[in-house]
Structure 1
Amino acid sequence: MNGEPMAPDALTGPLQRTNLREQVLALVRQALVSGEIRPGDIYSAAALATRLGVSSSPVREAMLTLVNEGLMEPVRNRGYRVIPMSEHDLDEVYTMRLLLEVPGTLQAAANAQPEDLTRLTVIADEIEKTAREGDVVGFLEADRRFHLGLLQLCDNRRLVDTVTAMRDQTRLYGLEALAERGVLDNSAHEHHHMLEAIARNDMDSLENLIRHHLLHVRSDWARPDSVSPAGDRRPRAGGKHDIRGTSAIEG
């Protein structure tokens, strides 16, 4: 690292001293999905641990979990590297999510109780708040809790686990640019619209909202705001939540 001060980001510590591995894993997942951790660059557990104010052990465990899930690969004596996702890969993820999330969420909606809607409304409020503030990390975390929390009501653990894995393979490199333009909150409102459709038992509207929301994921949310000279799509460096500093974080 170059030693210069860096802007606040997804990997700003210190973390709470309980469930460190889970907290680190959640933060690294968010950074991976948003493009803060960039495909092809090498990240050492020691350097990320320093940023988080924890020991290297929970960071290394989190990285190994992502290796086992096929999202990262170890680089001998250097650290870990994100495995790139091609446009075809992302198209496959989008198709899988359509096939699973649409019927799964409709089933979940049929099972939803008033207390479930109350709980999800609190999260939807949080999504809108983070969108207004341009907090991409908070937006991603709340969006994940909302959709998986709703989907769990379908009472199908395997479906939820599969969708969770598909979400982790999604790439949302365009969120930072949308947040900076102040238009991320347009998408945030959709979560309240979904809950309103569930409350009035309007499954046709709910299905349209889910499909539209997933289309964001594959189109404007996924579109990076810069393209390298070689045509490789990459997120812009140096943004509000940028964690890189250099092309590879050395330990």
Structure 2
Amino acid sequence: MTPSTDTSGGGPMDQAVGAARVPPQLRASDVARARPEAGSGVRGEHTHSEVPIPRPVVQRASVRGQIVDALRTALVAGELRPGEVYSAPALGERFGVSATPVREAMQQLALEGAVEVVPNRGFRVVERGARELAELAEIRALIEVPVMLRLARSVAVERWAELRPLADATVRAASSGCPATYAESDRAFHRALLLPSGNEQLVRITADLHRRSQWPLVGSPASRGRADLVADAAQHAALLDALIARDLDAVRGLVGGHFTSA
């Protein structure tokens, strides 16, 4: 995809239309006591006994969400290259939408650190090196290794056995060779591992770190090869085996090593 120039600025997403409120002077008891003829009238005419019907929520936020997902997929797949600038109009043409939801989606990715705004041009994909990836792996290990060791001691082995289908799904996704498909399956598995902690903030933060670790590195191949994905997925099954066996040493080594190898 060829970078292009964006001469328009971004802006915050419009607020969704709120539901209409029932006037305070109109209570349910008032409607119940109303005379039958009070609610009658010409078809299509609004009468005082009718409760206003809430307007449907506009779909613009939904469009933006779909574009965010599409851009994340393109980023992981290597279709959006580090260091290159992409304009909202050009990407909008690619996705068949106007530039506005694309610009809003790119603003979301900018908040996540995936891209940066280039005034009067568009958005540049952030260039990341091996050092940043190593730092992310270290942070994930500091957070997740002790959590997984605690869960390995306390969570019933049957709970870990229930995650086997998710582990198998990562193997199938890896076998497809599609990095974007594998990235999604990989995040789903790791999220399920941490859900028994009951800590929503932990799950959210680690998911963000995980997503960042999947972005391409500058100077590296556009995406990981099939062999790398298959090897990564194989560690999921091994981790479940260790959790079921309550082998804490194996759990510690697999969780920490998994981040480094990824």
Task: Identify the TM-score tier after normalising by the shorter chain.
Answer: 0.5 to 0.7
What residue identity is the alignment partner of 2:253? Answer: N
Partner Cα distance (1:199, 1:101) in 2: 18
Partner Cα distance (1:100, 1:76) in 2: 37
Contact kept? 2:77, 2:178, Cα under 8 Å:
no
Partner of 1:176: 223
Shift of 1:110: 4.3
Contact kept? 2:128, 2:216, Cα under 8 Å:
no
Contact kept? 2:134, 2:260, Cα under 8 Å:
no
Partner of 1:40: 83
Partner of 2:255: 210
Match of 1:188 among 217, 233, 243: 233
Q: Secondary structure at the match of 2:123?
A: strand
Q: Secondary structure at the match of 1:81?
A: strand
Shift of 1:34: 5.0
Change (3 A) 1:166 1:195: same
Contact kept? 1:104, 1:159, Cα under 8 Å:
no
Partner Cα distance (2:167, 2:63) in 1: 26
Shift of 1:142: 0.3
Shift of 1:167: 2.1
Larger CA deviation: 75-84 vs 49-58: 49-58
Partner Cα distance (2:194, 2:153) in 1: 11
1:62 aligns with 2:105: yes
CA distances 1:30-51 after superposition (whole Å, capped 9, x unpaired):
4334543222111122333333
Please give the TM-score of this superposition, normalised by the length of structure 1: 0.68
What residue identity is the alignment partner of 1:200? Answer: A
What residue identity is the alignment partner of 2:88? Answer: A
Partner of 2:93: 50
Match of 2:71 among 11, 28, 38: 28
Partner Cα distance (1:18, 1:75) in 2: 24
What percentage of aligned pairs have identical amino acids? 36
Larger Rg belongs to = 2
Please give the TM-score of this superposition, normalised by the length of structure 2: 0.65
Contact kept? 2:78, 2:222, Cα under 8 Å:
no
Gaps of 5+ in 2: 3-59
Correspondence 1:1-251 to 2 at 5 A: 19-33=62-76, 35-110=78-153, 112-113=155-156, 116-117=159-160, 119-170=162-213, 171-173=215-217, 176-179=223-226, 182-217=227-262
Aligned residue pairs: how many? 202
Partner Cα distance (1:139, 1:41) in 2: 24
Larger CA deviation: 100-109 vs 48-57: 48-57
Contact kept? 2:187, 2:211, Cα under 8 Å:
no
Contact kept? 2:179, 2:229, Cα under 8 Å:
no
Partner Cα distance (2:98, 2:162) in 1: 35
Q: Which has the higher contact order (CA 8 A, sep 6+)?
A: 1
Aligned Cα root-mean-square deviation (Å): 2.9
Change (3 A) 1:34 1:211: farther
